[in-house]
Structure formats: C-alpha cells, structure tokens
Amino acid sequence: MPISADQGAALDAQAVNNFREYLQIPSVHPNVNYEPCVKFLQSQAEGLGLPIKIVTIVTGKPIVIITWVGQDPKLPSILLNSHMDVVPVFEESWTYKPFSAHVDEKGDIYARGTQDMKCVGIQYLEAIRRLKLEGVTLKRTLHISFVPDEEIGGVDGMKKFVHTEEFKKLNVGFALDEGMASEDDTFALFYGERNIWHLIIHCPGTPGHGSLLLKDTAGEKVSYILNKFFEFRKQQVKKLADNPNLTLGDVTTVNLTQIQGGVQSNVVPPEMVITIDCRIAVTVDNTQWEKQVKQWCSEAGSDVWIEWEQKEPPVAATKLDSSNPFWLAFKEATDKLGLKLKPQIFPGGTDSRFVRDTGIPAIGFSPIINTPILLHDHDEYLNKDLFLRGIKIYCKIITAVANLEDITG
C-alpha cells in the first residue's frame, strides 16, 4: 500500500535520526572499536524485523549481515555492502565536532562518514523499511553487509570474507557498494578499479664524508628513479588534460609518499629508501609496467631492489552491456528516475575489487550530486534532502535488481 504523507514525514525524520546516530559512533582509525556499530545495527535489524548474523574472521573485526529473504531464495542474491570504519580526523580543522552530526540551517549534516560511507549503509536500510511498509515483495534475497577495515585496505574485512564458506553461502549474484559524490548533477557510477601497488625501493650506495664526490651514491640512484617516475607522471597529467572524456581512473598515477635515509648532514648514507604509491589503469599491461619499473631501477645503479608492500593483481571490470542483466535492470531503474549517470573507473580502492575478483559483477554508486567531494577531507558533510532522496533512489534500484528474473536458463 502507498505510504501516506504523514507516514512519509515520520519515515524521513526516523531516517535522519538513524543516520545521525550512526555518524555519532566514532568508528575511527586507528584501533577501531566496532562493538557500538554492531549494537546499533542489531537494533536496526530488530526494528526492521530482519535476521542478523555476525561473522568473525579476525577477532575484534566483525562482519554484520542483515538478510531479507526473497520469494525464491535459490536465485543468486543481491549484496548491498558498506563499511563501518572511517578515516582519522583533525578536529581543529573542523567547523563542528566531527562526530557530532551537527545539522546547520541549510540542512547540511557535518560528520566524518557522511559521504564515506555511512550514508549508503543507512540508505539501504531505510529503503528496505519503506519497501516492507509498502508491501513490496522481492524475488531475490537481499544481504546487507557492514564490513570492517575498508579504510586500511580491507585485508581483515572483505578481502578475507569473500573466500569463506559463510560468503559462498550467501550465493551472491550481484553487488552494490560505495561510489563518491559528484559536484554537478550527474551521478558517478563505478564499474571497475585500478589495482594498487606500493613499492618500497631500496637504493644502497657508497657511504662517506659529505665533502667528497663519491661514485655510485644512494642519492644519485634515488634521483634517477624519481626523475623517471615524475616524467611518467607528467605524461599521465597531460593525457588527462588533453582528453576531457577521461577521468582520473583512466590513467596510472604515481606519487612519492616517503623518503628514508641518512644519519646526519655531513655523512653520505649507505642507503636511501623511497616509497611509491602506484594506481594502475585497467588498460595497462601489468607485466610490461613492472618490467619498465625494474628497468629504471637497474639503470639507476647497482644493487637497487624493490620491496613490495602491496602488489594487487588486475581485476576485470564489471561489464556494462547486455551480457550483464543486473546492469540493465539498474540502468532501467535510474532511467525511469531521470538520473544522469557517468560510468567510470574508481580512482581509489574499495571493497568492490575483492567481490569482482571472485567473478561477481559489482557497481559502486553513492547517490550524491551537487556536492563537493569531501571523503577524507575536513568538514565532510551531506545535505539532509540529498540523503533522503538517495533512499528513494535505492528503493527503485533495489526493487529492479532484486526482481530480475532467473537468468541462468
């Protein structure tokens, strides 16, 4: 049955209150205490009349799964994923306390996690609340997952979870996860991600007194390698600037993030170490790129070697064509809502890459437009009306993908 105007107003107020309560839980790195999030989600599941399960792979890092069983539980299910953790804050740089969930006169809600990504987790739940009140039934089962540690790589969260029997039992056929805000009226939609390499490059060299012109020094090797990386970086910047149709996810980024070495100002050190953050475009041949980097290291001088802090393999992007019926259902729903979408490769890393790596199609989507991109930034906020509109958008998307007919034949 349709929801009345009074019911709608009450549901909106409840949704905003739940969102603010969730934001007020400081599930912030480092050393996150997830227990308050778990208790909050248990109360939400109880209010929705849905079963909840807590899966623990790593002690202190729970994975919460709320399930709405569909009419045909044998069909592959829909996974609605979000993460509970948020990045650190520098409170002195915030206008309002970062875990107060302050609402200003424009309806902007300020808190760490408003965009990344507690909004989406609550929007899933509030969309389900409305669908249940309207008497909507779904063919496919929904699993709403809340995972830990996404902000530090997801190693003890989704990365481990997708390889467990508990995950396999969910029988996931399609997944939704986070996207990011858009500064105009076009919704960003992400169908793939660059793979992440963190290279720690060790440059040993001839040590000695700072007044000498020694050969084969560590500093010279560092200089050669950095010049190669920065020249490549300039090429990628130009590629992006020359083609307005490209986004950051379409190029390979390299950034110097750490330099270590030296004991005092007049001593040439026996070794210097640099750390490079590299995000590789999905169009790049990883084998050739690694060969190029190793060649630069070899050209820099003797005994340079690479320690791999992180070396993710490439993961195939989710197809956005007729071979993916879930995408067609998603697109039909957003077309009916009149939403403008911009499909692109996500510039960072989310839990979607671990889901895609198992062969499950996944889309990253956060229904936030006309908003500055403030994930990980000071004064992160989301407008109340945009948050509420996102719930209505998810009502349509969830219904479309969860009512997709059996596609196995």
Residue 103: strand pairing partners: 109
DSSP of 195-210: EEEEEEEEEE---EET
Distances (CA, A) of 352 to 150, 253, 360, 364, 371: 10, 20, 9, 7, 23
Contact 45, 142 (CB under 8 A): no
Do residues 11 and 3 touch, judged by C-beta distance below 8 A?
yes
Cα–Cα distance between 80 and 147 in angstroms, integer?
11
How many residues are listed for the chain in this entry? 409
Give me the sign of the Cα torsion angle 334, 41, 144, 365. Answer: positive
Query: Could you tell me the CA-to-CA distances from 258 to 83, 198, 278, 299, 362 in Å, in that order?
Result: 28, 11, 13, 21, 33
Which letter, b or e, does each residue of 13-33 get, where b requires 16 or more Cβ atoms within 10 Å of its Cβ? eebbebbbebbebebbeeebe
What kind and span of H or E run contains 335?
Answer: helix 325-336
Tokens of 159: 């990365």
Question: Which residues carry out catalysis?
Answer: 85, 150
Return the structure tokens found at 38.
Answer: 């778990």
Cα–Cα distance, 373 to 368 (Å, whole number)? 9
Q: 249: Cβ–Cβ under 8 A, 6 or more apart, which residues?
A: 190, 192, 193, 194, 281, 344, 345, 346, 347
Which two three-digit tokens encode residue 100? 């107060």
Alpha-carbon torsion angle 383, 387, 389, 394, nearest 10: 160
Token pair belonging to 227: 């010049």
